[in-house]
Amino acid sequence: MSNMVFWRKFFKNIGMSNRVNTSDSISLSQDVLLMEHSGSKGDVDNIYLSTSKDVNLYELEQLCDAVGWVRRPLRKVKIAIDHSFVIICLFCKNKERRQLIGFARATSDTVFNATIWDVVVHPDFQGRGLGKALMDQLVFHLRGANISTITLFADPQVVSFYRNLGFITDPDGVKGMFWYPR
């Protein structure tokens, strides 16, 4: 937990000054160390965070495959990333490899409202607080851009996860709705 406090302070200190604000997105120029994690064999995994939109689409597909999501054309995934306001990637780096283990993104009008989509943590890395770290970072970036309305649509099994992060359902009776062809 002290690690978490460390990186949060660290990120707060460097995050805003280091960021490059492009036309409709926020991006960091390089990966930021999020936390160190000791593996079962005594080896150390370093978890890094990146907000670069230069995502390896094949790696992202593998990550989404790992949680059983329906595949989407990579060409479209690239367009969606390019037209998202914030992208957060988590990587696990050790001596052998650098693996994409977490992803989330948000669309936004860049000033008032944002909607979070495609939040995923690799099953091998779930239960370590990485989903919370991912979401905290996404909210941190959106709040840093003064977005006041941060929204998402949660599947039933993750409503309590988001509630623990400060999201609430149906405030003042406001209902999330989806259009379906009649």
Q: 102-125 burial, b for 16+ CB within 10 Å, e for fewer?
A: bbbbbebebeeebbbebbbbbeeb
Q: How many CA atoms lie within 13 A of 11 on its CB side?
A: 25
Nearer to a copy of itself, 81 or 92 (CB): 81
Stretch that binds a copy of itself, among 5-13, 46-54, 92-100, 101-109 (CB under 8 A): 101-109
Closest approach, Cβ 69 to a copy of itself, in A, equals 12
Decide if 81 contacts 117 (C-beta within 8 A): no
Q: Which residue among 41, 76, 95, 97 contacts a copy of itself (CB under 8 A)?
A: 76
The residue count of the chain comes to 182
Interface with a copy of itself includes 123 (CB under 8 A)?
Answer: no
Q: Which helix (H) or strand (E) holds 75?
A: helix 74-82
* 162 included as an active-site residue: yes
Stretch that binds a copy of itself, among 34-42, 53-61, 81-89, 126-134 (CB under 8 A): 81-89
Please report, as a single letter, which amino acid is at residue 15: G
Interface with a copy of itself includes 110 (CB under 8 A)?
Answer: yes
Closest approach, Cβ 52 to a copy of itself, in A, equals 17
Decide if 47 contacts 37 (C-beta within 8 A): yes
Interface with a copy of itself includes 153 (CB under 8 A)?
Answer: yes
Distances 60 to 57, 64, 101, 165, 173 between C-alpha atoms, Å: 5, 6, 9, 24, 36
Interface with a copy of itself includes 113 (CB under 8 A)?
Answer: yes
Angle at 75 between CA 77 and CA 89, to 5 degrees: 35
Q: How many CA atoms lie within 13 A of 17 on its CB side?
A: 5
Q: Which residue among 53, 84, 104, 133 contacts a copy of itself (CB under 8 A)?
A: 84
Pick the catalytic residue: 48, 58, 162, 180? 162
Interface with a copy of itself includes 72 (CB under 8 A)?
Answer: yes
Nearer to a copy of itself, 94 or 163 (CB): 163
Active-site residue list: 162
**Which residues make up the interface to a copy of itself (CB under 8 A)?**
24, 72, 76, 79-81, 83-85, 105, 107-113, 115, 117, 139, 149-156, 159, 162-163, 165-182
